[in-house]
Structure 1
Amino acid sequence: MFSKWRSDSAGDGFSFRRLCTHLKTISRQSIGYNLRRLPLTIKITGWYSIFLLLMLLLLSTFIMQFTNLWEDSELRGELQATVINVADNPKRFHPYHDGIFMVMYTDNGIAVKGAIPDGFPSGIILSPHRITELTTKESTYYYYDSPSHSGEFHGWVRGILPVTTINRRTNIMLMALMFGGLAFLVIGTCGGYWLIKRGLKPIRMITQTAAEIGRNRDLSQRIEQTVNSHDEIATLSDTFNGMLTNLEESSMREKQFSSDVSHELRTPIAVIQAESDYGRTYITSVEEAKESFEHIFKQSRFMTSMVTQLLDVARLDTMRDIEMRPFNLSQFLEDISQGYSRLCADKNLTFDTQIAQHLQIVGNPTFLKRAIGNLLDNAMKFTTDKVGISAKNHDGTVRIIVSDNGIGIQESDLTKIWDRLYQVETSRTKSNNQGLGLGLYFVQNVIKLHGAKAYARSTPNVKTEFILEFDEFIESSNDK
């Protein structure tokens, strides 16, 4: 096997290299996968600690460099000042003065007294008035020579400063920085971890709440809010709670809708089944069969109408916007009125129109035609003898009013009539109204998509009005 692998390797020359590259790729992918699985608190703390460590290293380096330069300058100045002071007054001479070795030389370069540090070579020529750096195998020295002509002594005073003195102070500073930086890093990391964990607590609560909602399918649960908190996490919690509220309301509407539809379909299906069973068992003549088929046809037409309206409503529920354009509302309403005036005439109803001229709005004529048609159909069902439609401008707002003089709607029902499948159970009973309670809901959705307003007002036994309010479109010179 080895010989075979060796021959393969010799054949292309890259087998082992490809194997190493493949192993490196696997290793990197494994490390990346494990890092991605770490908790967010650990990730943030890790990056925060690395950044803090880098900042400490940079700060320590700067401090060390600055300290070295500053200390070197200070010691050079101290060396020069000490030597000059002794040269001016030889009586102040001491062989060793604050880390500086002092030596007195004659004019011939002979050492008279003083101390020379170990490792400093003898016979070094004088370098007056200049600090000189000397490096040997053992160490590095600074020395300074100054002439002395005071009293009975005439010669030179030399000061020698071993650089080890500087290194010792630097090492002490370095150790202090290391231990202080390490303590600061540990305290900063632990404190940062505690703060980050505390700050991310609402996110963990969001996760737990979402998990409980998914497990229990209970949309009534909410995230506990932090008192007097207005940060981004609090905003996220508010947004999540608002989303849950909308989902809960939508779920309740869907449940109610399903229940209402089931209730509405139960009666026509039962009638169809009863008529079919009766016809199969008892009908013996063509006349009886026609009557039975007529009942079945009416119920089927009712169910077809319900399905059509439900599809329209479902389509509107999923819409967020519709195509709209400016159009002449006055002419639009005149065209609608012509058709309904003939329908009212056939039913011996009075149809009254009061439409102002040159009204314009921005909207979708197709959807608005169906919405206004629903209001007019509704008015024709419940009126006594009169139906009306009017449109006028009111302080920059266009109002469309559809009215009838039927028995009216109770005040407690005026806000409920816009709900899906809601029907007033007083004079507007199902014996008079074969609708489904979807017409006004359709109108409400269309008006909302237009950014307009729809409401109703009613005086029982006198008058009922449905009002639609739109912003008037005023054509500017740029639109022409």
Structure 2
Amino acid sequence: MKNKLNKIWGDFPITVKVTLWYTVFVVILISIMLTVSFTVANKMTGDLNHRELMEAVIEMTVEMVSDPNEFDEFDDGIYFVKYSSEGIEMGGMSPRGFDLTLKYKENTVRTYEKNGEKYYYFDKKIDNSRGEWVRGIVPINQLSDEVSKLLIIILILSPLLLLIIVYGGYRIVKKALNPIAKISDTASEIQKNGDFSKRIKIDEGKDEIHRMADTFNEMLNSLENSYTREKQFSSDVSHELRTPVSVILTESQYSLEYADTMEEAKDSFSVIQRQAKKMSELINQIMELSKIEKQTVIELQKINFSETMEKILEDYKNLLNEKNIKISKNIEQNIFINADKVMIERLLDNLFNNAMKFTKDKINVKLYSENENCVMEIEDNGIGIPEEDKKLIWGRFYQVNDSRNKKVNKGFGLGLSLVAKIIEQHNASIDVESQLNKGTKFIAKFIKTE
């Protein structure tokens, strides 16, 4: 039974839930207010009857001092009875059911109750008399007429007031939670259509719900960008792998059907090996880039940037000689940065490889201090990059054109994407300066450490 009730409650819209809780709270509050109102009104009426009774009796005894005949049996709802010093009734009027033989007790308002009827009575001696005294009697009204009417009006209007409050609260809650409904509708549309371009459109505001909607829109922006990148990435990978796979299949089929000698088979195997190696290099670069992109936090350590660059250049010395490429270096000593050493080495490898692929015969390398930063420059004297392509070179698989690549060194367009990611994770910056037919310079800036 409890589970069934919980399920029914869980199926209610949040606006109905909040309105129901709000209604319960209002009902409890109104009930408490009415109870307190009745109690206070009753107390106030009792105090008022006490005061009026005492004032009326005292006023009557004062008037009888100057004129003993100045005695009224009934005045303004109060009954008056005159007694002798022995407590014998001498005159006056009393309400039906009141016991006139009750003993005298001065200056105290007392209560008498009989057959469900209650009375206040007050006794006061008459000054300059022979011990005579006057008793004032008033039936107890639970509430004065004015208060009774007010409370009756409140009781009558309470249900109507409750309905107005509940309806108004429901409208307010529904309007306040309208952005949540839009968030839910937008999420449902995205789920049905797979359209990550959808956004939550709500009025401007700075409350928690508007901030949640803004955060949701930012999340959708991130998802759309990620989806677009992954979609493009899948398309690019498929495109890059299609050629070597086609070549391997073609050569394999040719070798099976037409290779009559070992030499012919070796030629086919050689082609297959080159294409397989190309595929392996592509997959390794993709995995390396994916690994770095998944690292949200990297472990930084203090490294000697100058020594790291010197070692990388030493490793490339023989290769540069083979390619007849001259290198000019100007590296300031003992420059330290906080970095992931392996990532920095990969960054330098990619920038040097890029320079070697596209230079004519010379590479300039610099590392120097600039205020709180250190600046690294790697410059080639190749054909350069067109201005419109400078912002695009950091994208995956992007290559300016085949004329910029030497066929023997043609890559996949992933190196600079890897560089950009490493720069981002080190809170560094990188820029490119290039002139067509004159060369390209990559400039990276890192924060120095002591």
TM-score interval, normalised by the smaller of the two chains: over 0.9
- Cα displacement (A) at 1:316: 2.2
Partner of residue 395, structure 1: 371
Secondary structure of the residue that 1:416 maps to in structure 2?
A: coil
| 1:99–1:165 contact (8 Å) kept in structure 2 | no
2:188 counterpart (211, 215, 227): 211
Query: How do 1:78-477 and structure 2 match up within 5 A?
Result: 78-90=52-64, 93-149=71-127, 155-166=132-143, 172-226=149-203, 228-425=204-401, 427-429=403-405, 431=407, 433-474=409-450
State the alpha-carbon separation in 2 of the partners of residues 399 and 78 from structure 1. 97
From the superposition, tell whether residues 401 and 71 of structure 1 become closer, same or farther in structure 2 (CA, over 3 Å).
Answer: same
| 2:347–2:419 contact (8 Å) kept in structure 1 | yes
State the alpha-carbon separation in 2 of the partners of residues 370 and 189 from structure 1. 66
- Cα displacement (A) at 1:98: 2.7
Gaps of 5+ in 1: 1-26, 475-480
Deviates more, 1:108-117 or 1:426-435: 426-435
| 2:45–2:144 contact (8 Å) kept in structure 1 | no
State the alpha-carbon separation in 2 of the partners of residues 104 and 430 from structure 1. 132
Letter of the 2:165 partner, please give it: G
| 2:365–2:376 contact (8 Å) kept in structure 1 | yes
Letter of the 2:449 partner, please give it: F
1:37 counterpart (1, 11, 17): 11
State the alpha-carbon separation in 2 of the partners of residues 92 and 337 from structure 1. 129
| 1:64–1:170 contact (8 Å) kept in structure 2 | no
From the superposition, tell whether residues 97 and 402 of structure 1 become closer, same or farther in structure 2 (CA, over 3 Å).
Answer: farther
- Cα displacement (A) at 1:153: 9.4
State the alpha-carbon separation in 2 of the partners of residues 62 and 354 from structure 1. 89
Letter of the 2:332 partner, please give it: A
State the alpha-carbon separation in 1 of the partners of residues 126 and 46 from structure 2. 26
State the alpha-carbon separation in 2 of the partners of residues 172 and 308 from structure 1. 90
State the alpha-carbon separation in 2 of the partners of residues 242 and 48 from structure 1. 33
Secondary structure of the residue that 2:379 maps to in structure 1?
A: strand
- Cα displacement (A) at 1:414: 0.9
State the alpha-carbon separation in 1 of the partners of residues 88 and 138 from structure 2. 20
Partner of residue 26, structure 2: 52
Deviates more, 1:64-73 or 1:416-425: 64-73
Gaps of 5+ in 2: none
- Cα displacement (A) at 1:459: 2.1
State the alpha-carbon separation in 2 of the partners of residues 255 and 249 from structure 1. 10
Q: Deviations over 1:75-120 (max 9, x none)?
A: 2111111111111114664333332222222333333332211221
Runs of 4+ in 1 over 6 A off after TM superposition: 167-170
Secondary structure of the residue that 2:446 maps to in structure 1?
A: strand
| 1:379–1:403 contact (8 Å) kept in structure 2 | yes
1:61 counterpart (15, 35, 55): 35
Identity across aligned pairs (percent)? Answer: 35
Letter of the 1:400 partner, please give it: M
Partner of residue 16, structure 1: none
Q: Deviations over 1:2-29 (max 9, x none)?
A: xxxxxxxxxxxxxxxxxxxxxxxxx222
Letter of the 1:95 partner, please give it: E
Partner of residue 10, structure 1: none
The answer to whether structure 1 residue 77 and structure 2 residue 55 are counterparts is no
- Cα displacement (A) at 1:44: 0.6
Letter of the 2:214 partner, please give it: D
Letter of the 1:188 partner, please give it: I
